[in-house]
Amino acid sequence: MDRYERMCSGDREAATRPVSEVWEEDAKARAETRTIVQLIEREAHVVADSYQNSGTVYHVLRAIDDNYRRWKPEQMLAAANVCVAISACNARPEIRCRAWKEKANALREMGQLHAALRALVLADDAASDTYEPAYHRAIVTYARGAVFHDMGRYEACLATFKEARAVFTVYHDRDRERSVDYFAVSILYCLGLYEEALDAYRKLLAQAIACHDDAQTWLQHGNVAHCYARLGDVTSARIHYAIAAAGYEQLGYEKDHAKMLRSLGRLEVRNRGFAGLAAMSVAREAFAALKMQGESVQTEIATIEELLAYDPNADVSSMCVEVVARAMAVGMKPAAIIHQKIDAKPRSAADGEYSSPN
């Protein structure tokens, strides 16, 4: 149990009540949680208003943490909705804050970026009422930075990461400091500083292997592969992608496995053009099955980018028009090259204007 979990648990209140009463309520909460998790894993749907036990929300939040990589985004959202519903009635502000943050995380995974930001506003409101508001608001700020990252707002992302990390340092939260540092390295990649990013990811990969941390090992294999791909070393990229894909599949991490399938698909399109589209279709179908709208759009954008890398004169105008509309709908900023390809062809008034969201 880390510092955040201790703050969100009911330990302080429980200390003033009869032990038998606390145990009985906790047993009920655990039983409810098992039922909720079973429903989520079977149907990805729970009637949130059916549960009112304030202790249940804490155990469901733990379940979200335990299953973060394994659950589909819609399952995460269903669990978060239960937490939000229960915490609105009788939970402490620390719990309300965490419930809304987890809902924002699920919405981000689903590509609903504007909705994720709205959820974080409510998380921030709850954080302000906690007994350590600076710390809880920093956790919300970090989550907001992740949304900015997915929106392509990298300067805002870095600013929020810097703000959050300073607070984590004050509170000696080393785990979250490291988490911010891991995420911040990805900004180097996003800004095109691939050699610097590769050096950083190699070090993180070595650390993960030394610590026998499988999840981090596959993550860093994928990150190293991304850098190799951008630097033109297709052979090394394919090796690291394949290692990551196999590792994620073994762990049952469907979301991450789909991302590696997309990366392998990018290499196919980059080297074969339209003949390699079948590999990207596999990735797109995987994201569609997971109901990850944002990742599906990212896959379409990646397909266009790789087609243009293979042949700068490829006719992708109609693909561009369609994907920009879908990207804007979920709050993403399509790559500038896609806008350029759209602007390069005559447009009727019906095509509309395409501007990046603020």
Q: What is the pLDDT of residues 155-205, one digit of tens each?
A: 899 899 999 999 999 999 998 998 898 888 888 888 889 999 999 999 999
Q: Nearest Cα to 288, choosing from 272, 299, 277, 278? A: 299
CA distance 140 to 79: 18
CA distance 80 to 78: 5
CA distance 141 to 273: 41
Alpha helices in 67-173 (DSSP H): 73-90, 93-109, 113-127, 133-151, 154-170
The pLDDT value recorded for residue 339 is: 56
The pLDDT value recorded for residue 327 is: 78
**pLDDT over 50 (residue 276):** yes
SS3 220: helix
The 10s digit of each residue's pLDDT in 258-269 is 999 999 999 999
User: What distance lies between CA 299 and its chain's CA centroid?
Assistant: 15
pLDDT band at residue 350 under the 50/70/90 scheme: very low
Provide the mean pLDDT of the chain. Answer: 81
Contact 41, 75 (CB under 8 A): yes
CA distance 5 to 277: 45
Report which DSSP code applies to 173.
-
CA distance 59 to 30: 7
> In terms of C-beta density within 10 A (0-12 exposed, 13-18 middle, 19 or more buried), how is residue 147 classed?
buried
The 10s digit of each residue's pLDDT in 205-255 is 998 999 999 999 999 999 999 999 999 999 999 999 999 999 999 999 999
Contacts of 214 (CB under 8 A, 6+ apart): 247, 251
